[in-house]
Structure 1
Amino acid sequence: MSLARFRRILLALPLFALGCTMGPDYSRPAVPLPAAYKHEGGWRSLPDAAQPQPNAPWWAVYSDPQLDRMMRLVAESNQSVAQAQARYRQAQAQLQVSRADGQVQVEGSSGVQRSGGSGGGGGGRSGGSSIDGTRYEVGTTVSWMPDLWGRVRRQTEADRAAIDSSAADLAAIRLGIQATAAQAYMRIRAIDRYMDLLNQTMEAYARSLALTRNQYAAGLVARADVIQSETQLQSLRTQKSDLQRQRLLEENAIAVLLGGPPAGFGLELTAELPPPPPVPAQLPASLLARRPDVVAAERQVAAANARIGVAETAWYPDITLSAQAGLQEGRFTDLLNAPQFFWSLGPALALTLFDGGRRSAVLEQTRAQYDEQVAAYRETFLTGMREVEDALASLQTLAEKAVQQQRLVELAEENERVVTNRYRAGLVTFLEVSVAQNLTFTSRRTALEIRADRLAASIQLVTALGGGWQPEQ
């Protein structure tokens, strides 16, 4: 074989091998996707092709302008979200680093060398001549390592999957922070509604106290009834202080979520509490697959799969094509005027012959990491299913409980009216009035707590589904 033909074959080898890519091609791991949810109640699963997508912020179902402003501010100013955004930019930069490995590299160099020695006959006599000199040199080296076995392609594939995973992590953090802020906001609204209930009850207790004092002044009841009525009213004043403290703590928590100091944040008092949003009649069970944490885990599996191919390329030789050219001369001024030109061109082949089992260990490590990511993906999916089931079960049972509790409120209010009238007539003691009033107050408070729990469960369901359930219009 002639030297020219050998060179052509050697130069054609990278073009032939560019189509080779080591490692397994990726396929999404199977997960146990249910046809329906256990506690879906009136829900009906739709086929994947009809899967709705949200066309509005998930918190729009609560129709609260203040909540809308707060949710948007959380997405812009929260420091945990800012950290996730920085990690996303890092993942994007890493992709550019990996792409650069497959590009032509150009390096410039310059140097000066001083050399010396001795020469002449006589086997090292003292009269021998000395040899020394200085060499100046500038040059450029162009090199390219063809991606023979797909190492760069697999690494780029892994980096793209890592970018997708980082973007999903960002979405998951944003969703989690917004859900936490929404929960705190709803708790504040529930506290305000509870405060309003407390004020109404205190007014009723104050009227009862005035009635008891009048009855006592008329000699119809004992002093113990007055003390008991005063004690009942005072207990509500104590509860009001606790509510004020809880509200301040919730405001401080929201302020930090908004990325600002607590001193600069506050919510106006309001007795309004948005009703629990209606659960849609139809929703696909496969909607769970869009959860950001599920997407992030699946993309980590894809990245781990690509890294197996990167590890397998270590068993194959690398070829580097390089060319070098430059100028050299004994004096720096001659380097600019009449320099000597030199060049070199040729391929270099590198292959690791023995590494003590390192490549085998790295390959086994990447395969184990892939198995770990698959298990993590499936666990994340199962956790999401559990969270959806929990939220659905809570909504279903709380809706039934709300109906029963409202009936209890009506009975307690009727009982209080009857007992109060009997007390006015002097037929019963204030103890029975106190018991009836406390039952009414407790029943109303429990009904309010159930309503707040239904709101919290709806936010949990929205979060568990990955951010909203509104079908596309």
Structure 2
Amino acid sequence: MTNGPTSSMRKSLFVMLIAAAAGSLAACSTLPAYTKPDVAVPAHYAGASATPAPTHGWSVAAPADTAPRGPWWSAFDDAELNSLEARVDVSNQTVKQAVAQLQQARAMVAYQRAGFFPTVTAGASALRYRTSQNVKHTSRAGVTEPDYLVGLNASWEPDLFGRVRDATVGARDEAQATQGDLDAVRLSISADLAADYFDLRALDIQKKLLDDTVTAYAAALKIIEQQFQKGVVDASAVAQAQTQLESTRTQDTDIDVQRAQLQHAIATLIGEPASTFTIAPDTAAVPVPAIPPGLPSQLLERRPDIAAAERRVAEANAQIGEARAAYYPNLTLSASAGLESTFFAPWLTAPSLFWSLGSQIAGTLIDGGRRDAALQGAHAQYDGVVAGYRQTVLVAFQQVEDQLSALNTLASEAQSQQRAASAAERSLQLTTNRFNAGAVSYLDVVTAQTIALTNERTVDQIDARRIDASVQLLKSLGGGWDRAVLTSAENAK
């Protein structure tokens, strides 16, 4: 007795599958064709002409270059910095937050992709009900009876007009943009760490200079005091020497405050409490690495923030497709089957079987202009994101030019300042000799000492600024980052 319904159900299922397959083959997408927005790219960097030739430790990125790169900070060849940078990905909380956001974006891709597949639900119920005795024309009036039911329900909406496809493409583009955001955060934090580290090293150099100067000034004060006791100089010379010594000690102590703050900042960047973190002083000179800027067009391939901005343009393009798909009807295919019986004993037998197959197509005819407004909003959002992408590119070029200009200018400043420091040192030596010969007062010596110390500190400060500019240039160039990481990260999920 069950052959008829079962055969009929199979035929209906077969017809429904054929219809669904045909619908899928005939599906069309409302997604607009996407092309990367055009941006004006200069032929070369204005400040690149004076850049030294490339050296070890950093390589120029190229769009087709998929070879692995070493970390950009290895250009400075500093083992301590390498060790600190390795801890950023592991312990920095800002990076961990960005990683969580990336995982959320990738989960949204899977969520949107699930729309391609049918939804199946299952349920079971056991209940008793009584029909009112006052209901006329029914044989069940006043009867209490049980109902046992178990069944499956399935529904599927074929993506005929690409709504699910467009949403999935948009989610994928957002996930890739979020990957770019993560890499931009990593680049920013690693650059901040390198800048703080080299600033701390610069303070160590300044500290050594001031320590040596305090020692020299203290020795000079003893000599002046001895000369005062012999009546060679008056009390003003002693006061001048004391003033010079204590003023320099004050500068020396202030270095400790600045160094402690930088050490605390580095601890935070590597995810360690400031109270448990220390870096030993290091007064070795830090050489300025030669950094090849490459071609301006390559900047578009190795800046993660530019890649993220471009992926959000693609996402906005997909949202236009979603808005267009709202104009088309939705087709829903549904099926259900199960067992139902008033009595428990025959519940699991073939006569208790029930099933249904159906389809529904529905579309919006009038919505008061809501879909038009949504489409206009999607187009406006796209235009805004394109403008944001182009602005990101312009700012990136500006940052590179700023650092190239700074490096070129500071290189010239370093040479002239070194000459000034050497001249001030010679002047101090000559003035000291003249003082010892009794030709000038000790005030002239103090003045010469102040000029010499100021010029020597300026030399060290310019060197520190050159290192900072090198760090910022590497950051502006993308730190050797490669755009291919977006695709490789997506494929690795």
Q: TM-score scaled by structure 2?
A: 0.88
Deviation at 1:198, TM superposition (A): 0.4
Deviation at 1:50, TM superposition (A): 8.1
Aligned equivalents of 1:82 and 1:294: distance in 2? 21
- Asked if structure 1 preserves the Cα contact closer than 8 Å seen for 2:61 and 2:480, the reply is no
Corresponding residue for 2:132?
Answer: 117
Question: Which of 113, 121, 135 is 1:107 aligned to?
Answer: 121
- 1:95 correspondence with 2:95: no
Question: Which of 43, 47, 56 is 2:70 aligned to?
Answer: 56
Question: Which of 292, 295, 302 is 1:284 aligned to?
Answer: 295
Question: SS of the counterpart of 1:130?
Answer: coil
Deviation at 1:131, TM superposition (A): 4.8
Q: 1:119 to 1:199 in 2, by over 3 A?
A: closer
Report the AA paired with residue 438 of structure 1.
Answer: T
Corresponding residue for 2:231?
Answer: 219
Corresponding residue for 1:36?
Answer: 44
Residue-by-residue CA offset, 1:419-453 (whole Å, 9 max, x unaligned): 00000011100011011111110000000000000
Report the AA paired with residue 286 of structure 1.
Answer: S
1:270-309 residue pairs with structure 2 within 5 A? 270-280=282-292, 283-289=294-300, 290-309=302-321
Residue-by-residue CA offset, 1:93-122 (whole Å, 9 max, x unaligned): 11110111111211112234625134798x
**Residue range with higher mean Cα deviation, 367-376 or 336-345:** 336-345
Q: 1:200 to 1:7 in 2, by over 3 A?
A: closer
Deviation at 1:333, TM superposition (A): 3.6
Aligned equivalents of 1:251 and 1:47: distance in 2? 33
Aligned equivalents of 2:263 and 2:171: distance in 1? 40
Aligned equivalents of 1:133 and 1:302: distance in 2? 60
- 1:326 correspondence with 2:335: no
Aligned equivalents of 1:168 and 1:327: distance in 2? 53
Aligned equivalents of 2:20 and 2:433: distance in 1? 106
Aligned equivalents of 1:98 and 1:7: distance in 2? 24
Residue-by-residue CA offset, 1:127-173 (whole Å, 9 max, x unaligned): x9635543322111122211101111111111111111111111000
Corresponding residue for 1:66?
Answer: 80
Q: 1:47 to 1:334 in 2, by over 3 A?
A: closer
Report the AA paired with residue 15 of structure 1.
Answer: S
Deviation at 1:465, TM superposition (A): 0.6
Aligned equivalents of 1:386 and 1:120: distance in 2? 84
- Asked if structure 2 preserves the Cα contact closer than 8 Å seen for 1:51 and 1:284, the reply is no
Q: 1:56 to 1:432 in 2, by over 3 A?
A: same
Report the AA paired with residue 78 of structure 1.
Answer: N
- Asked if structure 2 preserves the Cα contact closer than 8 Å seen for 1:297 and 1:376, the reply is yes
Report the AA paired with residue 43 of structure 2.
Answer: A
Corresponding residue for 2:9?
Answer: none
- Asked if structure 2 preserves the Cα contact closer than 8 Å seen for 1:54 and 1:468, the reply is no
- 1:25 correspondence with 2:43: no
- Asked if structure 2 preserves the Cα contact closer than 8 Å seen for 1:48 and 1:286, the reply is no
Deviation at 1:350, TM superposition (A): 1.5
Report the AA paired with residue 17 of structure 1.
Answer: A
Report the AA paired with residue 28 of structure 1.
Answer: K
- Asked if structure 2 preserves the Cα contact closer than 8 Å seen for 1:311 and 1:363, the reply is yes
Aligned equivalents of 1:347 and 1:421: distance in 2? 106
Aligned equivalents of 2:351 and 2:66: distance in 1? 73
Corresponding residue for 1:439?
Answer: 451
Report the AA paired with residue 287 of structure 1.
Answer: Q
Deviation at 1:174, TM superposition (A): 0.7
Corresponding residue for 1:142?
Answer: 154
Deviation at 1:218, TM superposition (A): 2.5
**Residue range with higher mean Cα deviation, 417-426 or 337-346:** 337-346
Corresponding residue for 1:83?
Answer: 97
Question: SS of the counterpart of 2:43?
Answer: coil
Residue-by-residue CA offset, 1:269-297 (whole Å, 9 max, x unaligned): 121231111233x6121221121111111
Unmatched segments (≥5 aa) in structure 1? none
- Asked if structure 2 preserves the Cα contact closer than 8 Å seen for 1:75 and 1:178, the reply is no
Residue-by-residue CA offset, 1:74-105 (whole Å, 9 max, x unaligned): 12110000000000100111111011111121
Q: 1:256 to 1:271 in 2, by over 3 A?
A: same
- 1:372 correspondence with 2:397: no
Aligned equivalents of 2:335 and 2:253: distance in 1? 81
Q: 1:120 to 1:430 in 2, by over 3 A?
A: closer
Aligned equivalents of 1:448 and 1:265: distance in 2? 26
- Asked if structure 2 preserves the Cα contact closer than 8 Å seen for 1:51 and 1:287, the reply is no
Corresponding residue for 2:274?
Answer: 262
What fraction of aligned residue pairs are identical, expressed as a percent? 40
1:129-278 residue pairs with structure 2 within 5 A? 130-131=142-143, 133-278=145-290
- Asked if structure 1 preserves the Cα contact closer than 8 Å seen for 2:296 and 2:397, the reply is no
Residue-by-residue CA offset, 1:348-384 (whole Å, 9 max, x unaligned): 1121122222211111111111111111111111111
Q: 1:254 to 1:329 in 2, by over 3 A?
A: same
- Asked if structure 2 preserves the Cα contact closer than 8 Å seen for 1:119 and 1:131, the reply is no
Residue-by-residue CA offset, 1:196-235 (whole Å, 9 max, x unaligned): 0001111221232223223222222111001100110111
- Asked if structure 1 preserves the Cα contact closer than 8 Å seen for 2:125 and 2:149, the reply is yes
- 1:316 correspondence with 2:324: no
- Asked if structure 2 preserves the Cα contact closer than 8 Å seen for 1:194 and 1:445, the reply is yes
- Asked if structure 2 preserves the Cα contact closer than 8 Å seen for 1:21 and 1:149, the reply is yes
Report the AA paired with residue 102 of structure 1.
Answer: F
Unmatched segments (≥5 aa) in structure 2? 1-11, 55-59, 483-493
Aligned equivalents of 1:48 and 1:253: distance in 2? 34
Aligned equivalents of 1:330 and 1:427: distance in 2? 125
